[in-house]
Amino acid sequence: MNRNLFIKILLFFVMQTMFSCDENFRSSVPNTEVRFTCSLSQAPYSSIMALGQFLTVTKKGSAFVVKAPGQPDFTDGRAGVFLGYGGLIIGCPAGIDLGGNSQYVAYDRACPNEAAEWEIARLELNAVQEATCPTCKTIYDLNTGFPKKGISKERLKDYHVYLSGTDLMVRN
């Protein structure tokens, strides 16, 4: 392997480790309760078992709507579900951890650049592991949560994700 390529890959993983678990990070997205559980053995949630796949979960009245690219909307009426400030983006990043395992991530769907506004700017999924803010047009990389292009300099607010068998749980 080319030495420069090896060093770049090593630095990428070191940076991911240093910044992905920053407990001192303060998001401009307000703290609100997150309590969501889904079964990865059932559609549409099973779609995020593949690397690089994401979906959104957004409150709609007394229910919530799940949207995955290329699939019809799914409405779920379960009670006791809390979806953060702007809803959730849940998925499986394209990368793997140092142990060779995939890890699930969950972000608040609210754009951190627009969080202080009266209206919540909800990010829209792109087909290429990105989410775009319809207001400020910032594009976020869903594999890292960091902005790729646009005016925002703040990463997405992330939540804790736990896996128990095929149940995926998101909490704050």
Region of residue 52 (left: phi > 0; alpha: psi -120 to 50; beta: else): left
CATH numeric code, 26-171? 2.102.10.10
Per-domain boundaries in the chain? 26-171
Instruction: Please say whether the beta carbons of 131 and 142 come within 8 A.
Output: yes
Q: What is the pLDDT of residue 98?
A: 61
* CA–CA dist 30, 50 (Å, integer): 30
Q: What is the pLDDT of residue 128?
A: 85
**Listed residue (131, 122, 172) closest to 150, CA to CA:** 131
pLDDT tier for residue 36 given thresholds of 50, 70 and 90: very high
Q: Which residues lie closer than 8 Å to 1 by C-beta, 6 or more apart?
A: none
Which of 66-70, 138-142, 163-167 shows the lowest per-residue confidence on average (mean pLDDT)? 66-70
What 8-state DSSP symbol labels residue 77? -
